[in-house]
Amino acid sequence: MELNYDVIVIGAGHAGCEAAHAAACIGARTLLITMDMNKIAQMSCNPAVGGIAKGQIVREIDSLGGAMGWVTDRTSIQFRMLNRSKGPAMWSPRAQCDRAKFIWAWRDILENTPNLHIWQDQVRRLITSSEGTRGVVATGVETYLGINFRAKSIILTAGTFLNGLMHIGHVKLPGGRCAEPPSLELAESISQHGLRVARMKTGTPVRIDARSVDFSLMTEQPGDTDGRTFSYFPSAETPNLASKKPSKLSQLPCWITYTNEAVHERLRQGLPDSPLYNGQIQSIGPRYCPSIETKLVTFPDKDQHQLFLEPEGTNTNEYYLNGFSSSLPIDVQIEALRLIPAFRNLEIYRPGYAIEYDFFDPTQLHHSLESRVVSGLYLAGQVNGTTGYEEAAGQGILAGINAARNCTGQEPLVLQRDEAYIGVLIDDLVCKGVDEPYRMFTSRAEYRILLRQDNADARLTELGHRMGVATNQRLQHYLKKKEEVERIIRFAEEYSVKMKDVNSLLEQLGTAPLTRGCKLMELLGRPQLTIDNLSPALPRLREIIGTIQERSAEIIEEAEILIKYQGYIMREVEQAEKMHRLENIRIRGRFDYSTLQSISTEGRQKLLRHDPETLAQASRIPGVSPSDINVLLVLLGR
């Protein structure tokens, strides 16, 4: 049996769901293949979305027309804006979600997306052909049920399933996730064409029965109560389910506790049986989400480590113990945790475990996420060496857009580093590669004042609409918000504030009174002052903000940020424009790097390996020095 599609997506994790949804919205006849339709968008580890820089990625996905933000809002059981004590470039939304409802919300969207078909099966191998100058071309997949599906573009989003191997103490079990089989042949059918493959490791903590926990011995961590959401689009609407209004779920707290020296001593006794330290695991795990064993070894002087007990849903006693990822034997995990007062009667649903899996070297990708080795094959998510649902979903929506555009011969969409964290992520993968699971942080972006969580819609909605993913409804919603923001800024630029109107209020707010009248724009530049705390003294300002009907807090916040940080924003815009000039200088195919003796040996080796498209990409490759770039500039001038 053989069936034909435009785009085939392998795997229905976070990358696969966004890829399939985007490709289908553009109009490509799309097939999503998954081993289990009841595990679509499964949150394999923490049942939460967002976090530092990750929250920005989710809002970018939403602005492009993706669904992760909307699904998160529909299933959120706690929302928090992180880093509010810092500047707005660092603010990052995060939501705890109901794990089971998250799956069904995604499935609801996918099953109601036109052009999108779902097939429950496992892919055995990639089907390819040779087509002249294009070399090896992906043309389809073969499944274990014996069906050959053909397509113009194939997207691989297999997560941790490629030759996945789980570890709990000395026990090793093949699997891509607990109780789910690995993919054992697919990676080999791809790597035989020349894609470099390596191994990585990740892990997940124990799942706890809340009935066995003494919550009175823990510190409650409530969520925010200001009604914020991830999606910029009205929470009662989504592109494919506009008539289905989500009901608000019960909001639940998280809980904080700590390990202690007795816990650490029991864990140390178990280290000889830890796969991480007895040679059983050879691959590299995530630096910024270490196991509890790694914390003990790396920080031997710390007498406690913070743990977060997080609910898995509104209708379950299952809790996730954030901060206690482990692959130690089951008895060691349980005995150590029972030495924490709140867990003295602990019962668990399943232990923590580590998992090793195959990934492909992302430096063999174009910025479109298409393979340089096999044309028509796109890779997204953990198969590119990343970690995290958000990083996967960000790659997924770009892969879906570009796979669909490939079907009609259109130029791919490439996001720049000053346009989106997704652009930073993909550029880092392609130009720098990975030697450990890649996780996004605000510090990875050199233009983070431009890439704020509040303005992702301003950066990407019109682009998403042009690509065909963001609907007309989304575009109109954004344009209305844009008009409101600009109206507030114009008012601040034009409105003159008199001393008699505000001086008493300014003294109450701890800032110097005016010695002369000034524009509201100037006054709002003071850190102590906001539109909200000035409005009691300025009736015209109250009138302006009172006319905003929807999402007024979000609109006022963005206008205020643009006013307060105008100088910083303009400076980063200028820096980005300078870098764009290097992005326009194309160098691929113009040099034989092996003969350039004026370039450092390391720089020559790295340029040969990565073969960057532009001079700007070359400048971001580790080991290529500024002097190497200057040499290339001189040679180009000749």
pLDDT in tens, 87-111: 999 999 999 999 999 999 999 999 9
The whole-chain average pLDDT of the chain stands at 94
Nearest to 28 by CA among 405, 576, 286: 405
**Range 399-408 average pLDDT:** 98
Specify the range with the lowest mean pLDDT, choosing from 198-202, 468-472, 533-537, 607-611.
607-611
The reported pTM is 0.95
Q: Tell me if 319 sits within 8 A of 210, measured CB to CB.
A: yes
> Is the alpha carbon torsion for 457, 458, 464, 465 positive or negative?
positive
Q: Tell me if 176 sits within 8 A of 183, measured CB to CB.
A: yes
| Whether pLDDT at 68 is above 60 | yes
Which amino acid is present at 337? L
Q: Tell me if 55 sits within 8 A of 230, measured CB to CB.
A: yes
> Residue 626: how many CB atoms within 10 A of its CB?
8
> Residue 73: how many CB atoms within 10 A of its CB?
24
**C-alpha distance from residue 67 to each of 22, 63, 546 (Å):** 9, 9, 31
Q: Which CATH superfamily is domain 584-637 in?
A: GidA associated domain, C-terminal subdomain (1.10.150.570)
Comparing 381 with 627, which gets the higher pLDDT?
A: 381
Which amino acid is present at 283? S
**Range 146-156 average pLDDT:** 97
| Whether pLDDT at 213 is above 70 | yes
Contacts of 303 (CB under 8 A, 6+ apart): 260, 261, 264
CA distance 394 to 18: 8
The pLDDT-based confidence of 1 (bands split at 50, 70, 90) is: low
What CATH fold (topology level) applies to the domain 475-570?
A: Arc Repressor Mutant, subunit A (1.10.10)
What is the per-residue pLDDT for 240? 56
Specify the range with the lowest mean pLDDT, choosing from 146-155, 518-527, 544-553.
544-553
Element (H, E) at 375: strand 374-375
**Range 378-404 average pLDDT:** 98
> Under CATH, to which class is 206-222+251-353 assigned?
mainly beta
What is the per-residue pLDDT for 242? 44
| Whether pLDDT at 431 is above 60 | yes
Q: Which runs of consecutive H residues, i.e. helices, occur in 2-122?
A: 14-26, 54-64, 68-75, 99-111
Residue ranges matching CATH 1.10.150.570 in the chain: 584-637
| Whether pLDDT at 457 is above 70 | yes
**Tokens, residue 18:** 């966004």
Q: Tell me if 167 sits within 8 A of 274, measured CB to CB.
A: no
Which amino acid is present at 336? A
pLDDT tens digits along 472-502: 999 999 999 999 999 999 999 999 999 999 9
pLDDT tens digits along 534-548: 999 999 999 999 999
Residue ranges matching CATH 1.10.10.1800 in the chain: 475-570
pLDDT tens digits along 218-275: 999 999 998 889 999 865 455 555 445 556 789 999 999 999 999 999 999 999 999 9
What is the per-residue pLDDT for 248? 74
